[in-house]
């Protein structure tokens, strides 16, 4: 083989390797699922309440103080759990709020979450406007019709949507801003915790069926956390300011057990769909507890677990973070950002453990990472 031929052969090899590497990098850059749809409340709202008449808004500093885009409507100093999960799923940007999503953007998914929203329509009404679970699902129906228009026909849209992940995190406000708020709501007097959880799960199930009928096939059902341990509840109801309110947490566990049970029901009766349950309550329990390394457990590193980094009054929990209030400096040492919501440091741990379970109890029957691979 002459020198000229060898040189040309080397050039061809180098070009071929570059093309392979380019396509490999492209493949690596593709998210694990084509889209990620999010339904929920202020734990994951990223701007849907910004322009509605509501007290439940977070589009002002110091909210977003550690977020690259500043205040966006996220009820956190930085990222929410779904932001962390979107990164782990391989998306190159965060999922846009329904209020701002348009055009081709919706093909990556949409965040429908609304602060103060609940499963029940009246939940959170004392705070003003919000988009309840039914309203969020109705907005998703509108998105589906737009996806059909973009992709050309219903079959293409159904095939596309069947590969996406649908995250639902509803129920917290049905306790916080309904059942355990007797000054505004009668549900706490009307129903036992068991009865109330049954009613919530029935309504929740109806919305899941609607989502299924509109193309959803990969569901992530997030349990509610320990509401009785939030700075707001501790400020109002805890004698020592650190002992969690057990009656609230017990009610939350009743709801979670029933939510986990419907995962089995749906998986047994919907062979073309997969439902998983994320044990937010259990993960949160770990974050609340300072574990001793000799026990072989992880120390989360939160020095303060009973007060907000930003807020007013006892536990920084009687009034939530006010506009332009100066927050604590050591934000990563605080479990809670404000009276109700975890900070970015806690959201990062919850998001990571939801995506890739660290303990068998974190996710059932599998974690989000495995669900994405199905």
Please compute Rg for the chain using Cα positions.
Answer: 22
Please state, in angstroms and rounded to a whole number, the distance separating the CA atoms of residues 225 and 216.
25
156 included as an active-site residue = no
45 included as an active-site residue = no
Bond into 291 cis (ω within 30): no
Catalytic residue among 42, 54, 238, 354: 42
Catalytic residue among 83, 132, 286, 338: 338
For 348, the 3-state DSSP assignment is helix
Angle separating helix axes 280-288 and 246-269, nearest 10 degrees: 140
Non-local CB neighbours of 278 within 8 Å, separated by 6+ positions: 220, 221, 222, 223, 354, 362, 363, 368
Lookup: tokens for 58: 């977070």
291 included as an active-site residue = no
Element (H, E) at 336: strand 334-336
> Which among 171, 180, 177, 170 is positioned nearest to 128, based on CA atoms?
177
CA distances from 255 to 124, 125, 260, 263 (A): 18, 21, 9, 13
Catalytic residue among 167, 172, 341, 354: 341
Q: Which residues pair with 74 in a beta bridge?
A: 46
Please state, in angstroms and rounded to a whole number, the distance separating the CA atoms of residues 196 and 205.
14
> Which residues are the active-site residues?
42, 338, 341
């Amino acid at each position: 083989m002459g020198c000229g031929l060898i040189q040309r052969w080397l050039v061809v090899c180098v070009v071929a390797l570059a093309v392979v590497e380019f396509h490999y990098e492209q493949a690596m850059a593709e998210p694990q699922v084509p889209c990620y749809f999010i339904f929920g409340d202020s734990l994951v709202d990223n701007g849907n309440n910004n322009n509605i008449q509501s007290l439940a808004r977070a589009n002002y500093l110091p909210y977003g103080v550690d977020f690259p885009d500043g205040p966006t409507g996220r009820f956190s100093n930085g990222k929410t759990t779904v932001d962390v999960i979107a990164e782990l799923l391989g998306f190159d940007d965060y999922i846009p709020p329904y209020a701002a999503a348009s055009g081709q953007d919706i093909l990556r998914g949409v965040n429908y979450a609304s602060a103060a929203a609940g499963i029940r329509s009246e939940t959170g009404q004392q705070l003003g406007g919000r988009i309840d679970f039914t309203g969020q699902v109705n907005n998703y129906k509108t998105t589906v019709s737009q996806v059909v228009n973009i992709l050309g026909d219903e079959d293409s849209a159904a095939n596309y949507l069947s590969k996406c992940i649908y995250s639902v995190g509803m129920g917290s406000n049905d306790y916080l801003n309904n059942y355990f708020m007797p000054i505004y709501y009668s549900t706490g007097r009307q129903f036992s915790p068991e009865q109330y959880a049954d009613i919530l799960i029935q309504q929740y199930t109806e919305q899941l069926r609607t989502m299924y009928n509109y193309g959803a096939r990969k569901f992530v059902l997030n349990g509610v956390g320990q509401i009785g341990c939030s700075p707001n509840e501790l400020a109002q109801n805890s004698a020592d300011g650190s002992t969690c309110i057990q009656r609230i947490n017990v009610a939350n566990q009743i709801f979670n057990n029933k939510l986990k049970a419907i995962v089995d029901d749906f998986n047994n009766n919907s062979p073309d769909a997969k439902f998983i349950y994320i044990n937010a309550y259990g993960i949160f329990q770990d974050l609340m507890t300072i574990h001793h390394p000799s026990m072989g457990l992880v120390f989360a590193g939160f020095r303060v677990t009973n007060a907000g980094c930003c807020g007013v009054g006892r536990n920084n929990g009687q009034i939530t973070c006010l506009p332009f209030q100066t927050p604590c400096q050591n934000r990563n040492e605080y479990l809670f950002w404000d009276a109700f919501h975890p900070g970015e440091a806690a959201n990062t741990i919850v998001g990571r453990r939801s995506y890739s379970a660290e303990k068998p109890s974190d996710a059932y029957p599998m974690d989000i990472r495995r669900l994405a691979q199905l």
